Structure 1
């Protein structure tokens, strides 16, 4: 019975969305302290091949950021198998900036700058 409950709990947790990353304290463009008043929301959705890859991604989304940025829509960015358009994952986070100019630079090419976001 305990084993069955453990499996059920594990399956239920795997379907939950990952916790949001904390707001960064350093501007990814200028390197200056970021302001929580100047933010942008980044989001990128890609298809993966299976529920296992969905669970892997949801467990540690930031670990797969490079894979997500390089996704081609045909191949799963995690397993490299054929992607299933019905199985999707989304990397998203809110990003803070030091000034509106930095925000504008980020917003013009977010995929180029998202990897520079640090805590």
Structure 2
């Protein structure tokens, strides 16, 4: 049975299956009230980095580089501060839950302003 599970897991990875998504936050980043998992928004921001080493660093721990991604300057790698290569990009993405529709609307209007407030 263990062999079958390992084989299924390996086939899923070969087929390009993505790992499980990060759990939703439990507190609304706008209101501070308990988040409703039925009210969500997807946040995504893509920036260019300078090299595959920076890309690997980001991929290993994307949450650690959120501030860098938000402060990214066009033409500059947000990790090393060297000149970025437009052909090498990284994307920070996160599904965010909210307490109510008004909080979701406020987030959607200015997601970069509120994404740092998202906590587990």
Shorter-normalised TM range: 0.7 to 0.9
Query: In the alignment, is the contact (CA less than 8 A) between 1:18 and 1:59 conserved in 2?
Result: no
CA pair 44-103 structure 1, distance change in 2 beyond 3 A: same
1:71-116: CA deviation from partner (whole Å, max 9, x where unpaired): 1121100001100000000000100000000000000000000000
In 1, distance between residues paired with 2:52 and 2:66? Answer: 18
Q: Which runs of 5+ in 1 are unaligned?
A: 1-15
SS at match of 1:42: strand
What does residue 105 of structure 2 align with? 104
What does residue 69 of structure 1 align with? 70
In 2, distance between residues paired with 1:17 and 1:61? Answer: 15
- Provide the aligned length of Structure 1 versus Structure 2: 104
The TM-score, its normalising length taken from structure 1, stands at 0.84
* Aligned-residue RMSD, C-alpha: 1.5
SS at match of 2:48: strand
Q: Which runs of 5+ in 2 are unaligned?
A: 1-16
SS at match of 1:81: coil
In 2, distance between residues paired with 1:48 and 1:18? Answer: 23
